Amino acid sequence: MTDPTSLPNFPPPADEHPLRGRVLDALQDEGFRPDIDADGDVSFKVEGQQLFVHITEGELPVMRVFGQWTIAENLTTDPLTQYRAANDLSLRLNIVKAGINEGTLVVTCEHIVGPDADVRGLVSISYQLVLTAVHMWHQMMMGEDPFGDPGAGDAPA
């Protein structure tokens, strides 16, 4: 007899959560193994990093691709430095928002998704942007300039 706990976690019918179903399909087409977590978000791993897709269904459905990372102890603990780096990313990168919450870096990409939108493309570019922004934030915490701005190190902090 098969252990019932080994059965796959089947998503709800597509008509119940149409955008979430499209996101699940897009991730599966890309070779990921998405799941639905206890909050109803789609979860998946990219390059060993846990990411999520939160869907707000409605007249204007919104897809939020995000991840959250505990800030390592070897990085600066100065909150102002952390906030400035997150703010800089949010101002410089299209779509990306970065923030700090109680020692956790949160990076998101949000989209209003119409019925004819390329969900697969939006999901792909979003998780790539999230991971790139995390890498850039970490570089900034290490005193590097991920934007390659000439003379950036000359300006007073």
Does pLDDT of 10 surpass 80? Answer: no
* CA distance linking residue 37 with residue 40, whole number of Å: 5
In sequence order, the β-bridge partners of residue 67 are 107
pLDDT band at 126, cuts 50/70/90? very high
pLDDT band at 148, cuts 50/70/90? confident
- Residues whose CB is less than 8 angstroms from the CB of residue 11 and which lie 6 or more positions away in sequence, other chains included: 17, 20, 21, 24, 36
Share of the chain above pLDDT 70, in %: 84
| Structural fold of domain 9-144 | Yope Regulator; Chain: A, (3.30.1460)
Q: What is the mean pLDDT of the chain?
A: 88
* CA distance linking residue 100 with residue 68, whole number of Å: 9
Does pLDDT of 16 surpass 70? Answer: no
Question: Mean pLDDT across the stretch 64-87?
Answer: 93
* CA distance linking residue 92 with residue 17, whole number of Å: 33
